[in-house]
Chain A
Amino acid sequence: MNDKPATGFAQDIDAMTLARAQRGDMAAFAQLYQRYARACFLLALRLTGQRQPAEDLVHEAFLKMMDTIGSYRGEAPFGAWFKRLTANTAIDWLRRQRHPATNDADTLLEHAVGPDSDSASLVDADSLLARLPPRARAIVVLHELEGYTHAELAALFGQSESYSKSILARALKRLQALATPAAHASKVAL
């Protein structure tokens, strides 16, 4: 895990607001939205790579949260619980997309954009991630930025741990090939 929280899911929320939300209080839900909407959106944006689906995911994740908050028992911080719910919602979204769902890492990464295709446009970390196919991107984001283990990723994707490890290793290699000229270009531009 990183020392610095990657997203705002690490923010705390007071017990009173949570209790009110569990009773279905809309004002309490609005407070939860104020606190976690951006974190939810950032994660969704990283996982989907596109703004509109990310907004749709925020919508869906908050609806799910409001429906299921009664089952939240406080074993983990609320932010962690909601982050998992957002990630699960995004994985469901990825499954619904008609992307090639292959168990083979090589075939999956074939759909990535090549390193020689407009690498100068990689101006930030998220546009670097956007160069990966959706499933590989989700594995990188969840493992590298959100601290998911390979065992958790395997369970999320219904695959083996070695599948998750293989996708991650190959995706990172691909990103390395993309990032090196981009970082250079970024420095030159500055």
Chain B
Amino acid sequence: MNEHELNFHDLAAGLPARTIEPLPPDLWPRIAAAHLSRRRQRRWRRMAAGGAALAFVAAVLVSASAWRHAAMPVTDWQARAQALELQLDALPLPATSAPMARLAESEIANLDASLQAAYDRGAARHDIDPLWQRRSELLDALLSVRQQQPVPARI
């Protein structure tokens, strides 16, 4: 219930209704044009935001890949080769050298010469590492062959 006794309908009852002139005919075309312009702007903003999001995702993927690559354990082929050499030295010498072993020993000798030359010319690590890796692989193979060869009996 209204707290006041007056109401606008009673007050305006004695007054005629106002004559309202129609809205200007160009109002709707102006509203429609403004709406379409805003819609275009929003679409551009969405596309720009989408592009930025895509670029961000790409950047994250690239940095994640770089981080993973950096986090991968790096094998120290030189240390591994030296360790294998010690294992090989600990084995007793075979009576005869197997053909495979001879081949490996020959390639190791060549690699040693290449390594020496590389150190002499001050080669970079990325040039030297593959040589140490190959030397490790050959020593690994040689170790396997030696372990399977018969050992001469001492009298």
A interface residue numbers (CB < 8 A to B): 2, 24, 26, 29-30, 33, 37-38, 41-42, 45, 51, 55, 58-59, 62-63, 66-67, 122-128, 140, 144-145, 165, 168-169, 172-173, 175-176, 179, 182-183, 186-187
Contact = CB atoms under 8 A, between A and B. Distances in A.
A183 B14 contact: yes
B152 interface: no
Interface of B: 3-4, 6-9, 11-12, 14-24, 27-28, 30-32, 34-36, 38-39
Given A58-B23, A59-B30, A140 B8 contact: yes
Given A124-B19, A140-B8, A183-B15, 15 more contacts: A24-B39, A30-B32, A38-B23, A45-B20, A55-B23, A123-B15, A124-B18, A125-B8, A125-B12, A165-B3, A165-B4, A172-B11, A175-B8, A176-B11, A187-B14
A119 B24 CA distance: 30
A145 B11 CA distance: 12
Given A26-B32, A41-B23, A55-B27, A186 B16 contact: yes
A170 B75 CA distance: 90
28 contacts: A2-B9, A26-B36, A29-B35, A33-B31, A38-B22, A55-B23, A55-B24, A55-B27, A58-B31, A63-B35, A67-B35, A67-B38, A122-B15, A123-B16, A124-B15, A124-B16, A127-B18, A140-B8, A144-B7, A144-B8, A145-B8, A168-B4, A172-B4, A172-B6, A175-B11, A179-B12, A182-B15, A183-B14
Contacts of B24: 55
A173 B22 CA distance: 32
Contacts of A33: 28, 31
B11 A29 contact: no
Nearest to B42: A67
Nearest to A178: B11
B27 A59 contact: yes
A24 B35 CA distance: 10
A187 B30 CA distance: 42
Contacts of A29: 32, 35
A124 B6 CA distance: 18
Given A37-B28, A63-B31, A172-B7, A179 B23 contact: no
A63 B30 contact: no
B31 A59 contact: yes
Contacts of B11: 128, 172, 175-176, 179
A37 B27 contact: yes
Contacts of A26: 32, 35-36
A3 B106 CA distance: 111
Given A30-B32, A187-B14, A42 B20 contact: yes
Contacts of A37: 23, 27-28
Contacts of A173: 6
Nearest to A144: B8
Contacts of A176: 6, 11
